[in-house]
Amino acid sequence: MLGSTSVIAQKNVSISFDLSPSDTTMEVGVFKFYLSSISLQFEDNSVYIEPNSYHLINKEDSSPQSLTLSNVPDKAISKITFTLGTDSMANVSGAMDGDLDPILGMYWAWNSGYINFKLEGKKGNQAFEFHIGGYNGEQATARTLSYSVSADDTIEIKIDPSKFLNQIDLSSTSSVKIPGNEAVGLTNYYPNMISVE
């Protein structure tokens, strides 16, 4: 080789999702959400930040329940950080494409902004629909979460919609579809439904 360019070996990291409900009395109609701003921390404490990191994850069978981070330094991973939802930049910058295309049913036409998390279905006879969104000030619903992992090139994120639902008293709250206090309150239930391996 000419010169002395040092080459850092790179790899792809695959993140897969298990979105099945552990409670079999729960019927999931729609379960879609945004995962954004993914970063990985390595054992040497350096960090990889995925550029333009916006992913729509959809439980629907026809959708891939995985994503791939490319050009990741080939080092042992010790921590993953991501945001459940979209940052305000995505919400105020006009027309977007890719996973942020408003055609994907995760955008409010009457009150500009993305629906960060959508869960619809039935538990027993009780129907529920939760469309959680809002980006502005006290209405912000994006939640950043970090998990320790010990991984090389695959990470599995388990997001159990039953564990979200079980924290809600459906007899009093079964439908939230606008930004505001209720939507913000529901994001407090995110951590309990997520585990990372």
Partner 1 sequence: MYSVKNYQHRIRYSIQMKKGWPEPIYNPRESNAKFELGKKLFYDPKLSRDGSVSCAHCHLSFTAFTHVDHAVSHGIEGKKGTRNSPVLINLAWNNTFHWDGGINHLEMQMINPIEHPAEMDNSLENVITYLNSNQVYRKLFYDSYSDSTVNSKAMLQAFAYFTSQLISRNSKYDQYKNKELKLSLQEKKGMKLFKKNCNSCHTAPLFNSNIYASNGLSIDTNYNDVGRYAISRLGSDSLKFRVPTLRNIEHSYPYMHDGRFKKLRDVLEHYTNDIDINNPYLSEELRKKIILSDDDKKDLIAFLKTLTDKEFLYNKRFRPSR
Q: Contact positions toward partner 1, by CB under 8 A?
A: 91-97, 101-103, 107, 109-113, 139, 178-181
| Segment holding 174, helix H or strand E | none
Q: 45 vs 93, which CB is nearer to partner 1?
A: 93
- Cβ closest to partner 1, residue 94 vs residue 124: 94
Query: Given the complex with partner 1, which of 2 and 103 has the nearer CB atom?
Result: 103
The nearest distance, CB 13 to partner 1, in angstroms, is 28
24: number of Cβ within 10 Å:
8
The least distance separating partner 1 from the CB of residue 96, rounded to whole angstroms, comes to 6
Name residue 40's beta-bridge partners. Answer: 48, 80
CB of 135 to partner 1, least distance (A): 9
Rounded distance, CA 30 to CA 21, Å? 12
Round to the nearest angstrom and report the end-to-end CA distance of the chain. 40
* Smallest distance from partner 1 to CB 64, Å: 20
Nearest distance from C-beta of residue 34 to partner 1, angstroms: 17
State phi, psi for 133 to the nearest 5 degrees. -160, -175
Q: Smaller CB distance to partner 1: residue 2 or 109?
A: 109
Strand, coil or helix: 185? helix
Matching residue, tokens 């049913």: 105
Residue 186: how many CB atoms within 10 A of its CB? 19
Pick the closest to residue 121 from 184, 164, 179, 185 (CA basis).
Answer: 164
Query: 3 CB contacts (<8 Å, ≥6 apart)?
Result: none
Least distance to partner 1, CB of residue 178, Å = 8
How far apart CA 154 and CA 142 sit, in angstroms, is 25
Q: Which is nearer to partner 1, 126 or 175 (CB)?
A: 175
Smaller CB separation from partner 1, 108 or 189: 108
